[in-house]
Each structure stands twice: as C-alpha cells, then as structure tokens.
C-alpha cells in the first residue's frame, strides 16, 4: 500500500468534503501517522471511512466502545473545538491515543482518560513512539470523576453519550468548550457546549453522526409495560 497516497485520499475524499477546511487541521492530519495508532491486524483499514475496533473479538470491542472513530469524525471534532496552544484539554476515551496526539499538537497539555487498562497502556506507548510528550494517558473511568488539574479549556468525549454529562460542565473554565456526540441510534448530534458564565452555557449541534457509546455515562430511563 502507498501510505502517503492513501493518507492524501483520506483527507481529500473523506475529510475535506465533511467541511473540514481548516488548513492547520488538514496539515496535522498529514503529519500525524494514523497507521501508527491502528492495531497491526487492522492496519489495512487505517485510512478507511469507518470505526476501527481496538481489540478482539471485534464485536465485543465495538460494544464496549473500544474503537477509533472514523477519520472524518475525528477531524471535524478537532476543527470545531478550535483548541489553542495555551489551552489545557481533557479527553474521555483515549483508545489507541490518536485523538490525544492530534489534540496535543494544538494544545498546551492533554490529559486523556481510558477505562480499559490495556488500551491505556497501548495509548501511552503509541504517544511515546510518536514523540508526543504533552499528552498524558491515565487509566480511569471518565464518568466517575475529573482530574484535580481542572478546570479545563476543552473537554472532548471520544465516543457517544445519551445526554450531555452535566457533571463535566462544571469543570470547564469560562469560555471553555465541551464536545460530545449525543443521542441514540440512528440519530446522534455533534454537540458543543460553551461555558459563557458561572452557570451559563451555550449549546450548538451543527452536524449529525453516530458513534459507539462511552461506558457508564447515564442513559435515559426506559419504561416497559
């Protein structure tokens, strides 16, 4: 496989048509080697427009949310959060470390939480191999608490939730942004919440997508008769 051609095609045929037009984001996607964060068994899929399972059996990994998001979704989240060089970022769901790598190139510091110990170790190794030193991966359940280093300028949920986690909003700085994929299949919305005051928030939902669930975040009550 011609990796550079495959990367070029991913950017031009999948990502740019999804309204990812920020030149710095497109350049970053050409610099950070996505294939280095993909399991060896799935490296042929590194540039395909799909989620990539991080573990076996495949269906179990997907059910647990252990996957890399589709490249266009990662790129659009990265663009729309507009992370700046002075900002501190919290990511929920490190996976293989790829999104943390992208965020780290745009932020001052990234703390990424991963509920699965093996994936946390994999993400640390991948980031180290990529020479990224301002991203730290911790084995932790992001639904159960936030690092004491908060508040954060940006919080990114690398997976879907049924509703915006209100407990996380309190850990945003004023002017800070939370990015999440919210809803239930078949319709989920990319949701960006900006803290505009002490207890004031502005919400935007500019595009639709679908992503596997992050574990342990609240689900709506379901009644049966």
68-78: pLDDT as tens digits:
999 999 999 99
pLDDT band with cut points at 50, 70 and 90 for residue 223: low
User: H or E segment at 8?
Assistant: helix 3-9
What distance in Å separates the CA atoms of residue 122 and residue 189, rounded to the nearest whole number? 29
Determine the pLDDT at residue 220. 83
Contact 91, 110 (CB under 8 A): yes
Break the chain down into helix, strand, coil percent, rounded to 5.
35, 30, 35
Q: What mean pLDDT comes out for the span 55-65?
A: 89
Phi, psi (deg, nearest 5) at residue 54: -115, 75
> Quick one: tokens of 140?
């932790």
What distance in Å separates the CA atoms of residue 159 and residue 178, rounded to the nearest whole number? 13
What distance in Å separates the CA atoms of residue 121 and residue 36, rounded to the nearest whole number? 15
Contacts of 4 (CB under 8 A, 6+ apart): none
Which pTM does this prediction carry? Answer: 0.96
Q: Could you give the dihedral angle defined by the CA atoms of residues 115, 118, 124 and 125, in that order, rounded to the nearest 10 degrees?
A: -160
The predicted-structure confidence for 174-195, as pLDDT tens digits, reads as follows 999 999 999 999 999 999 999 9
Q: What mean pLDDT comes out for the span 105-117?
A: 98
The predicted-structure confidence for 127-149, as pLDDT tens digits, reads as follows 999 999 999 999 999 999 999 99
Query: What domains sit in the chain, N to C, each tagged with a CATH number?
Result: 3-209 (3.40.50.150)
Using the predicted structure, report yes or no on whether residue 225 has a pLDDT greater than 60: no
Contact 65, 71 (CB under 8 A): no
- Could you count the other beta carbons within 10 Å of the beta carbon of residue 131? 7
* DSSP 8-class letter at 214: P
């Amino acid at each position: 496989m011609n990796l550079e051609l495959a990367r070029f095609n991913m950017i031009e045929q999948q990502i740019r048509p999804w309204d990812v037009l920020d030149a710095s984001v497109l350049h970053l996607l050409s610099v950070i080697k996505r294939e280095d964060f993909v399991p060896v068994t799935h490296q042929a899929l590194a540039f395909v427009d799909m989620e990539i399972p991080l573990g076996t059996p495949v269906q179990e990994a997907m059910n647990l949310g252990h996957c890399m998001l589709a490249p266009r979704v990662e790129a659009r989240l990265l663009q729309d959060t507009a992370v700046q060089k002075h900002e501190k970022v919290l990511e929920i769901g490190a996976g293989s470390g790829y999104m943390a790598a992208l965020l780290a190139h745009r932020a001052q510091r990234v703390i990424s939480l991963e509920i699965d110990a093996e994936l946390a170790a994999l993400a640390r190794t991948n980031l180290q191999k990529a020479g990224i030193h301002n991203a730290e991966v911790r084995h932790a359940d992001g639904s159960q608490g936030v690092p004491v280093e908060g508040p954060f300028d940006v919080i990114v949920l690398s997976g879907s939730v049924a509703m915006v986690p209100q407990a996380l909003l309190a850990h945003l700085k004023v002017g800070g942004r939370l990015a999440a994929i919210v809803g239930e299949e078949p319709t989920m919305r990319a949701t960006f919440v900006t803290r505009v005051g002490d207890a004031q928030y502005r919400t935007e939902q500019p595009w639709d997508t679908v992503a596997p669930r992050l574990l342990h975040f609240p689900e709506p009550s379901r009644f049966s008769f």
